[in-house]
């Protein structure tokens, strides 16, 4: 779920058919109340993971997913065109982890540290955490943060005087055996 401002909520889910669906509230958004749209399919194909959505500025939503090829894919909605641009692969050579027994353990996370850049976090195929950013100059590529994780990353950001994000990951316990 993401919001670009008051009385705007956008909810995204992966359906049983492996497509991404969106439902939007545009007025009186509180609980089950409000003016909600019908569920609509985002154009662009099939995905493996739950979506990570971020409204980095009013009128712009970025959605990130793990594609069927185990790479990061994204799509963007722009209010000026009122349409999604379709999913495209962010081709960086770094594959995401896939575990068929736990598909949500591989989902990317997204946030914005400055209100203009989409920051994305992934669990790599070798269980490391990496981050990359999508902004006006395009994709930055991944920076590896170190450590080993056994779950999908989670992140949150809040407007602060200093741009920052907070990242949470599950770390496997050490085994001294």
Tens digit of pLDDT at every position of the chain (177 positions): 999 888 899 999 999 999 999 999 999 887 778 899 999 999 988 999 999 999 988 899 999 999 999 999 999 998 888 899 989 998 778 889 998 888 888 899 998 888 888 899 999 999 888 899 888 888 888 988 877 888 788 776 655 556 666 666 766 654 444
Global pTM?
A: 0.88
| Chain CA centroid to CA 62, Å | 7
Dist. CA 124–CA 113, nearest whole Å: 22
């Amino acid at each position: 779920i993401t919001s670009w401002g008051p009385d705007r909520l956008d909810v995204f889910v992966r359906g049983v058919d492996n497509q991404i669906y969106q439902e939007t509230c545009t007025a009186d958004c509180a609980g089950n109340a409000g003016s909600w749209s019908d569920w609509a399919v985002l154009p662009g194909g099939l995905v493996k993971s739950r979506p990570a959505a971020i409204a980095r500025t009013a009128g712009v939503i970025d959605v990130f997913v793990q594609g069927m090829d185990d790479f990061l894919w994204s799509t963007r909605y722009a209010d000026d065109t009122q349409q999604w641009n379709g999913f495209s692969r962010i081709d960086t050579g770094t594959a995401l982890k896939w575990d068929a027994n736990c598909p949500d353990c591989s989902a990317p996370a997204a946030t914005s540290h400055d209100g203009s850049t989409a920051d994305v976090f992934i669990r790599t195929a070798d269980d490391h955490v990496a981050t990359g950013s999508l902004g006006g100059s395009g994709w930055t590529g991944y920076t590896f943060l170190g450590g080993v994780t056994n779950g999908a990353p989670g992140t949150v950001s809040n407007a602060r005087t200093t741009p920052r994000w907070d990242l949470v990951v599950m770390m496997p316990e050490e085994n001294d055996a």
